[in-house]
Amino acid sequence: MASANSVQDCLETRTDVSREGLRQAILDNLFYVTGHAREMAEVHDWYAAVAYTVRDRMLSTWVKGLEKLAANRNMRAVAYLSAEFLIGPQLGANLLALNITEPVRGALSDLGQSLDEIIMKEPEPGLGNGGLGRLAACYLDSLASLGVPAIGYGIRYEFGMFTQEIRGGAQVELSDKWLRQKFPWELAHAEHTHVVGLGGSTSTHVDEKGRLRVRWKPGKKIMACAHDVPVIGHGGRECNVLRLWRAEAVDTFDFESFNAGEYFKAVQEKIFSETISKVLYPNDDRYQGKQLRLGQQFFFVSASLQDMIHIQKVLGKPLATFHETFAIQLNDTHPAIGVAELMRLLVDEHLMDWDQAWAITTRTFSYTNHTLLPEALEKWPVELFAEVLPRHLEIIYEINRRFLDEVRAAHPGDDDLLRRLSLIEETGPRYVRMAHLATVGSQAVNGVAELHTELLKRDVLRDFAVLTPGKIRNVTNGVTPRRWLALCNPGLSGLITSRIGEGWQTRFEDEIIRLEEFASDPQFQKLWREAKHANKVRLAELARVHAGLTLDPETMFDVQVKRIHEYKRQHLNVLRVIALYNRLRRDPGMDFTPRTVIFGGKAAPGYYMAKKIIKLINSVGQTIDADPAVAGRLKIIFAPNFNVRNGQVIYPAADLSQQISTAGKEASGTGNMKFGINGALTIGTLDGANVEMLECVGRENFFLFGLTTEEVAQVKQAGYDPRRFSESVPELGEALEQIASGMFSGGDREEFRPLVDNLLSRDDYLVLADFESYMECADRAASAYADRDNWTRMSILNVARLGKFSSDRAIREYCGKIWNIRVG
Ligand code: 26Q
């Protein structure tokens, strides 16, 4: 390992990567860092010892990464601002990046320990809900692997995403105490702290130089403490940092109250301060005007901007060139308050004039939109905003005033346009529109798939698209082939590498296509099938041990794992399973591809319908399980607690990937890509990135069904009546009738009434309209599966042609189209 000067002074036990050296180091860390005697150590202690051993081996690159940022005065760094980073388990990924998995495995085996067992014991930092949080983590991996200097900025939630248990078929949420044992990957940096204000009031005064100035006197002050997690690039040569802020009480504040004899108040202030980074909101579909959430957003954004300004100073650069040092990416509108906060820091704190500050701000920020669902667009009631961030509301008004003046000058007399573009919604109660703030404050806005970007330009941001053509761009999402193939699927990875070498791990978009050549090779097909089969056995084993479920690896694994949401239409999938069940019961002798339909995903705790869907999946599963007539042919199961770790076992085991959202609703989807690069074929609608996946793999290798976005609009336009479908499609009517009759709920007709009633009366997501097309397509997929050789050929072709969906490609596009950063 290359060693920086500072490292040369250190003991070799912290850098040696030989099996023997690692063995020594693990023992050393076990004793001196975790404080355990070898004889008494439990799996978790061994985990910690290994983690520290690996962390030691990252530190020289880590420190060099920071030095590089500091030394390279002309380099622009990415600051990726995200309320979520779903980084997943770290040990396996870091071992892979450093290429020391085998020596560590050997060292542990010399110590009588199993690396695989230790890896399974690692608590997972669940600092995100789903796609958006995981995307941020994939992008950090690619940034580091491509050698692009970057800092991820987010929140160190004490409680991440809840743990899901299934009791009596229903979701139960347990709090996620991922920090119960120390998180060995982070370094807490007491020296990197910033004070963040909240609430209070503003006043104006004329300063000593005669300038009119605004003073914000916050009602509360909170300290943000940096906790840094290393993000090592593939090959271990580059290291970036994920800086997560933890909220702490500002000591002086305590003392003020304390000295005034208000001990109780002092302690309460402390408790409030720490509340800010306490818990992740487990909501990924519906914006809720919760005061604490706005507090969280401002807290991490303000700390991050202060941190960047501090770095700018350390670099000895003037604030006037801030935008040359940093390209700030807003991961959805959650950090959009940064636009107003940077203005405040520049204008109020650093006395810059407004126009210059605005020029810098709008050259610094870019914004990624992840949703078209109107109920998911963030808008804060003006009154609440004024309470939490009075100064920022004034700044937003000022931004809006100047912005609308410009619009008025360009489009005189168009008051309706002004109303539509305004940062403030004024029809009824007034709201701050965060997507508008993010768009006006950014130099570029992007959607996350071609279709999504087109719809953004047509609907949600239409007026902006007309006003500033070219500002709204597309960068289709991608996933890291390191975690989502190399790490999670060693069997298939080894096979791929045996034919095309290991270049695909770093140049996926160029190299993986070379697999095409082997698609019809019978020997290769056989090995490909064996790798898939082994992954199915691995999943079955895990499901048995951890959830008491029995899965038969000889059946087709037909999988839908993702957050539970009506627009993702898990209930459409359940209706299909019920219809299949009915067919089997009617005609036990029928030709039928034996199937295991696997579901997984969390429902937001307050999302009633989503929870009903989980209950329905489990209820149908029970009923089918209890029926000997279909045994061994059809099974439906719900895999509890879908998270990154479980995903790493589930994606590689899937034969068929369900991507069945209503066209126009799923911005991109990234699970579709993870399934695809692990050799699952997709059954899906023309939605999100499915469209581009289909283009890449070819229609003949994709199971396409359902209404298009345009057809969805037409059906709704014409006055959609779901009952027409339940009446005219016998299998559909029958399934709905069975659910309503209590067939899956022990005769209880109330349990699923809300679900059935909703489908029959509203069906906002056109489940019934797409049912017939879906059934027909799923039948085609099942028949295709029966032709093993052809299925395998299609599976190989899918993997070979999905190179585009690497997050390395996505990050290169961001560098070129959005950040103006050169990448080697
Ligand atoms: C907002 C306000 C208050 C509380 C919570 C939230 C909140 C939190 C998380 C809103 C949305 C999210 C997450 C959204 C998300 O994951 N969207 C997904 O992003 C993926 C990456 O671009 C896409 O692939 C998916 O299509 C999109 O649904």
pLDDT tens-digit readout, 730-786: 999 999 999 999 999 999 999 999 999 999 999 999 999 999 999 999 999 999 999
CA distances 592 to 63, 555, 556, Å, are 59, 11, 11
Same domain, 57 and 149: no
Catalytic residue among 293, 532, 563, 571: 563
What is the structure's pLDDT at 1?
Answer: 39
Cα 722 from chain centre: 33
What is the structure's pLDDT at 312?
Answer: 95
Which residue has a Cα nearest atom 15 of ligand 1? 132
pLDDT value at 454 more than 70: yes
563 is catalytic: yes
**Ligand 1 centroid to 250 CA: how many Å?**
32
What is the structure's pLDDT at 6?
Answer: 56
Catalytic residue among 433, 562, 612, 812: 562
Same domain, 679 and 691: yes
- pLDDT confidence tier of residue 2, bands split at 50, 70 and 90: very low
Residue 487, in any domain of the structure:
no
- pLDDT confidence tier of residue 4, bands split at 50, 70 and 90: very low
Residues lining ligand 1, Cβ inside 6 A = 129-132, 135, 281, 283-284, 287-288, 293, 370-371, 376, 378, 448, 477, 666-670, 688
pLDDT value at 67 more than 90: no
Same domain, 550 and 694: yes
Residue 665, in any domain of the structure:
yes
pLDDT tens-digit readout, 582-636: 999 999 999 999 999 999 999 999 999 999 999 999 999 999 999 999 999 999 9
Same domain, 80 and 116: no
Which residue has a Cα nearest atom 3 of ligand 1? 287
**CA 89 to CA 237: how far, in whole Å?**
21
Same domain, 384 and 520: no
Same domain, 36 and 131: no
What is the structure's pLDDT at 3?
Answer: 41
CA distances 97 to 91, 141, 304, 814, Å, are 10, 10, 27, 23
602 is catalytic: no
Residue 566, in any domain of the structure:
yes
Which residue has a Cα nearest atom 13 of ligand 1? 284
Residue 489, in any domain of the structure:
no
pLDDT tens-digit readout, 262-318: 778 778 888 889 999 999 999 987 778 899 999 999 999 999 999 999 999 999 999
Pick the atom of ligand 1 nearest to 368's CA.
Answer: 22
pLDDT tens-digit readout, 364-400: 999 999 999 988 999 999 999 999 999 999 999 999 9
**139-143, 211-215, 261-265, 461-465: segment of lowest average pLDDT:** 261-265
**Ligand 1 centroid to 667 CA: how many Å?**
9
Pick the atom of ligand 1 nearest to 134's CA.
Answer: 21
370 is catalytic: yes
Same domain, 97 and 160: no
**CA 433 to CA 379: how far, in whole Å?**
5
Residue 205, in any domain of the structure:
yes
Residue 486, in any domain of the structure:
no
Residue 485, in any domain of the structure:
no
* Number of independent structural domains in the chain: 3
pLDDT tens-digit readout, 530-564: 999 999 999 999 999 999 999 999 999 999 999 99
- 310 and 349 Cβ atoms separated by less than 8 Å: no
Domain residue limits at 65 = 1-72+90-123
**Ligand 1 centroid to 440 CA: how many Å?**
21
Same domain, 225 and 370: yes
> Residue 798 corresponds to which tokens in the numbers above?
């899918």
| Residue in 62, 59, 3, 52 with CA at minimum distance from that of residue 26 | 52
Same domain, 18 and 132: no
Catalytic residue among 379, 532, 612, 674: 674
The residue to mutate among 127, 157, 293, 371, having the most atoms of ligand 1 within 8 angstroms of its beta carbon, is 371
Which residue has a Cα nearest atom 8 of ligand 1? 284
What is the structure's pLDDT at 252?
Answer: 59
**CA 61 to CA 71: how far, in whole Å?**
15
What is the structure's pLDDT at 62?
Answer: 83
pTM of the model: 0.97
φ/ψ (deg, to 5) at 820: 55, 50
Mean of pLDDT over the chain: 95
The residue to mutate among 138, 291, 370, 693, having the most atoms of ligand 1 within 8 angstroms of its beta carbon, is 370
Residue 770, in any domain of the structure:
yes
**Ligand 1 centroid to 36 CA: how many Å?**
42
Helices (H), ranges, 333-489: 338-344, 354-364, 382-388, 390-410, 415-421, 434-440, 450-458, 462-467
Pick the atom of ligand 1 nearest to 133's CA.
Answer: 16
Which residue has a Cα nearest atom 10 of ligand 1? 284
pLDDT value at 573 more than 90: yes
674 is catalytic: yes
Catalytic residue among 14, 234, 334, 370: 370
Same domain, 271 and 132: yes
Same domain, 347 and 382: yes
562 is catalytic: yes
Catalytic residue among 53, 593, 670, 709: 670
Same domain, 40 and 80: no
Q: Report the CATH number that the domain containing residue 233 is assigned in CATH.
A: 3.40.50.2000
φ/ψ (deg, to 5) at 665: -105, -35
499 is catalytic: no
